[in-house]
Amino acid sequence: MSRFDGQVVVVTGAGRGIGAAYARMFAAQGAKVVVNDLDAEAARESAQAVGGVAVPCDASTEAGVELLIGTARELAGSIDVYCANAGVARSGMVDAAENAWETSWQVNVMAHVRASKALIPQWVSQGHGMFVSTVSAAGLLTIPGAAPYAVTKHAAYAYAEWLSMTYADAGVRVHAVCPQGVRTRMLEDSGPAGKALMDKSVIEADEVAVALLAAIEAGQFLVLPHPEVAQMYEIGRAHV
């Protein structure tokens, strides 16, 4: 019997990249997977590949979260695992545009807040549930030239920590996934500077999913697909 047999898993931003890798991993573990993405065609293709269902919408807005969770419950049943994976990488220095900050805040942080608001009460009532936040190594460290991304990823990590601290005793499991360079469209779109910064450590999206499963089995909150991030984090703290 697989670990997630019969459980309903929702993954946002799962049309490709890390989200699609999560969908494959959970499906292989017996889950019924609900694939969300802004790109409707990508969502349908990813869902078809894992025998899941597609619910394309904007999972960062209140209306989008309500639509996603409501439709997922109608099509698949009560949600056991929610992977808040969709994210945006907006670059910019102190003069970054207001809309870069606003978009980053809504997608990288408020999407997590809105989903947990809709799910946590049920999970507390039933005594179990799992929230997976795809953060970034930038949420533990930082990244040059991308203030909106680095700051909102720090906020996403802080929110995952708060969820874990607050609801662990009620049976809610939380995992914060903090990869460094992953071979995805987001990395490709980061330009020469971003790719040069992470080129030597780039891993495949499926390796992130493997690291998540291992952390779930071990009961670890922090998921580090790049183990060297832990060392960099400790070095950074020592110099603060």
Backbone φ and ψ for 77, nearest 5 degrees, come out as 120, -175
Catalytic residue status for 22: no
- Cα 59 to Cα 190: distance, rounded to the nearest angstrom: 22
Q: Which alpha helices (DSSP H) does the chain contain, by range?
A: 17-28, 40-50, 62-75, 98-105, 111-126, 147-167, 185-188, 191-198, 205-218, 228-238
CB atoms within 10 A of CB 184: 21
Q: Pick the catalytic residue: 82, 149, 157, 159?
A: 149
- Cα 46 to Cα 85: distance, rounded to the nearest angstrom: 14
Distances in whole angstroms, Cα of residue 17 to Cα of each of 73, 79, 99 = 24, 22, 25
What are the tokens at 201?
A: 């450590």
C-alpha atoms less than 13 angstroms from C-alpha of 232 in its C-beta half-sphere: 15
- Cα 203 to Cα 67: distance, rounded to the nearest angstrom: 33
Query: What totals of helices (H) and strands (E) does the chain contain, helices first?
Result: 10, 7
Q: Which residues are catalytic?
A: 149
